[in-house]
A = this chain, B = another copy of it.
């Protein structure tokens, strides 16, 4: 196959991205070749800035441009409620729901003894320090509903409850717009147990 080397290399690098197969990588590379110079410049600058301009917030470890993230800097947020999440992407997801107006704490992962993730490699120490410095009265655990998320939630609940803080976990149940027929039995089971009186 006589494919031009710069194209070959670009396809290989794009192919390393999650969810980008060989065919998509080739389509993207060929699209960029045909794109206007200014668009490609804008794209490359934007991607470069992800590495240059973004850092982790000094307080909550959310993605931030400055020392403290937008949410930590805002005086419109409820300073007494803390939502604990796994990754910065979870902050984005919860913000989109518009149902939470408190602060966040991003753990940077979940406990996973098998892959060597212990409490020390997560931002748990910093979390405990926040309870000393800040006036937090309620914690919402919003970790993923899988085994590791559950384990980490239980671990954190045990750690936080003795501090006299109200601890809750986001509900499990049928997703809105979902179909009972296609839901797995574990989800239906949880939804049954956690049924709400009308």
Q: Smallest Cβ distance from A6 to chain B, in angstroms? A: 4
Contact among B4, B28, B54, B87 with A6 in the assembled complex (CB-CB below 8 Å): B54
Binds B, one of A33-41, A112-120, A134-142: A33-41
Does the CB pair A17–B7 fall under 8 Å?
Answer: no
Looking at A42-50, A144-152, A153-161, the stretch in contact with chain B turns out to be A42-50
Determine which of B28, B44, B69 lies in contact with A48 in the assembled complex, contact meaning CB atoms within 8 Å: B44
A193 close to chain B: CB less than 8 A? no
List residues of chain B with CB within 8 A of the CB of A10: 46-47, 49-50
Question: Could you tell me if A63 and B27 are in contact, using CB atoms closer than 8 angstroms?
Answer: no
Secondary structure type dominating chain A contacts? helix
A17 contact from B26, B28, B95, Cβ within 8 A: B28
CA distance A32 to B51 in the complex (A): 8
Contact residues, A1-24 vs B (CB, 8 A): 1-7, 9-10, 12-14, 16-20, 24
Copies per assembly: 2
Collect the chain B residues with CB atoms within 8 Å of residue A54's CB.
Answer: 4, 6-7, 33
A53 within 8 A of B: yes
Please measure, in the bound complex, the distance between the C-alpha atom of A54 and the C-alpha atom of B92, giving whole angstroms. Answer: 38
Closest 4 CB pairs of A and B: A2-B70, A10-B46, A6-B53, A13-B46
Residues of chain A having any CB pair with chain B under 8 Å: 1-7, 9-10, 12-14, 16-20, 24, 26-33, 37, 39-40, 42-44, 46-54, 63-65, 69-71, 74, 87-89, 92, 95-96
15 other A-B residue contacts (CB within 8 Å) besides A3-B92, A19-B24: A1-B95, A3-B70, A6-B52, A7-B54, A13-B42, A14-B46, A18-B27, A18-B28, A20-B28, A26-B89, A33-B51, A33-B54, A33-B63, A44-B47, A44-B48
